[in-house]
A and B are shown apart, each in its own frame.
Chain A
Amino acid sequence: MLLFLRKQKYLIDYTLSSLLRRKGKSLGLLAVYTTIVFMLASVTLFTHALRKEAGLMLQASPEIIVQRMQAGRHAMIPADYLQRIGRLRGVMQKAGRLWGYYYDPIVKANYTIMTEGQSDTPLTEIVIGTGIARVQGLDVGDYLTLRSQSGEAFSFQISALLENDSELVSADLLLMSPKAFRRLFSIPEGFYTDLVLSVRNPREVNKVAEKLSQLLPDTRPILRDEVLRTYESVFSWRQGILFVLLLGSVLAFVIFAWDKASGLSAEERREIGILKAVGWETADVMRMKFWEGMVISLTAFLIGYLAAYGHVFFASASLFEPVLKGWSVLYPQFRLTPYVDGLQLATLFFFSVLPYIVATIIPIWRTSIADPDAVMR
Chain B
Amino acid sequence: MRKSNVFLVSVSLLLVGAAATLIDAGLRRHHAYSQIESSASLVRQLGLTDLALFTEARYTRHLSLSDLHSAFQDHPVALEHFPSGSLLLPPQRMP
Instruction: Determine the chain B residues whose CB is within 8 A of the CB of A206 once the complex forms.
Output: 94
Known: A9-B2, A97-B47. A233 touches B21 (CB 8 A): no
- Count of interface residues, chain B, beta-carbon cutoff 8 Å: 62
Known: A209-B94, A302-B11. A339 touches B82 (CB 8 A): no
A57-B36 in contact (CB<8A): yes
Across the two chains, which residue of chain B brings its CB closest to A12? B4
A324-B53 in contact (CB<8A): yes
In this complex, which of A65, A305, A313, A338 has the most chain B Cβ atoms within 10 angstroms of its Cβ? A338
Instruction: Determine the chain A residues whose CB is within 8 A of the CB of B94 once the complex forms.
Output: 206, 209, 223, 226
B86-A302 in contact (CB<8A): no
Instruction: Decide yes or no whether A188 CB sits under 8 A from chain B.
Output: no
A239-B64 in contact (CB<8A): no
Instruction: Determine the chain A residues whose CB is within 8 A of the CB of B3 once the complex forms.
Output: 12-13, 16-17, 20
A222-B40 in contact (CB<8A): no
Of residues 314 through 337 on chain A, the ones whose CB sits less than 8 Å from some CB of chain B are: 323-324, 326-332, 337
Q: By DSSP majority rule, is chain B's interface helix, strand, loop, or mixed?
A: helix
B43-A226 in contact (CB<8A): no
Instruction: Determine the chain A residues whose CB is within 8 A of the CB of B42 once the complex forms.
Output: 162-163, 166, 169-170
Instruction: Decide yes or no whether A61 CB sits under 8 A from chain B.
Output: yes
Across the two chains, which residue of chain B brings its CB closest to A168? B51
Instruction: Determine the chain B residues whose CB is within 8 A of the CB of A306 once the complex forms.
Output: 14, 17-18, 21
Contact of B39 among A9, A20, A57, A323 (CB under 8 A): A57
Instruction: Determine the chain A residues whose CB is within 8 A of the CB of B62 once the complex forms.
Output: 112
A375 to B7, CA, bound (A): 31
Instruction: Determine the chain A residues whose CB is within 8 A of the CB of B50 once the complex forms.
Output: 58, 169, 227
Least CB distance, B54 to chain A, in whole angstroms? 6
Name B residues whose Cβ lies closer than 8 Å to a Cβ of A.
2-5, 7-8, 10-11, 14-15, 17-18, 21-22, 24-25, 28-29, 32, 35-36, 38-58, 60-65, 67, 69, 73, 82-84, 86-89, 91-94
A sample of 27 cross-chain residue pairs with beta-carbon separation below 8 angstroms, ordered by A number, consists of A65-B47, A65-B65, A72-B69, A97-B47, A101-B58, A109-B55, A110-B57, A112-B55, A112-B62, A114-B46, A166-B35, A168-B51, A169-B48, A172-B61, A222-B64, A231-B51, A239-B88, A241-B87, A299-B14, A302-B15, A302-B18, A303-B14, A326-B60, A331-B53, A338-B21, A338-B25, A339-B29
Name A residues whose Cβ lies closer than 8 Å to a Cβ of B.
9-10, 12-13, 16-17, 20, 50, 53-54, 56-62, 65, 67, 72-74, 97, 101, 109-110, 112, 114, 116, 129, 131, 162-163, 165-173, 175, 194, 196, 206, 209, 220, 222-223, 226-227, 229-236, 239-242, 295, 298-299, 302-303, 305-306, 309, 313, 323-324, 326-332, 337-342, 345
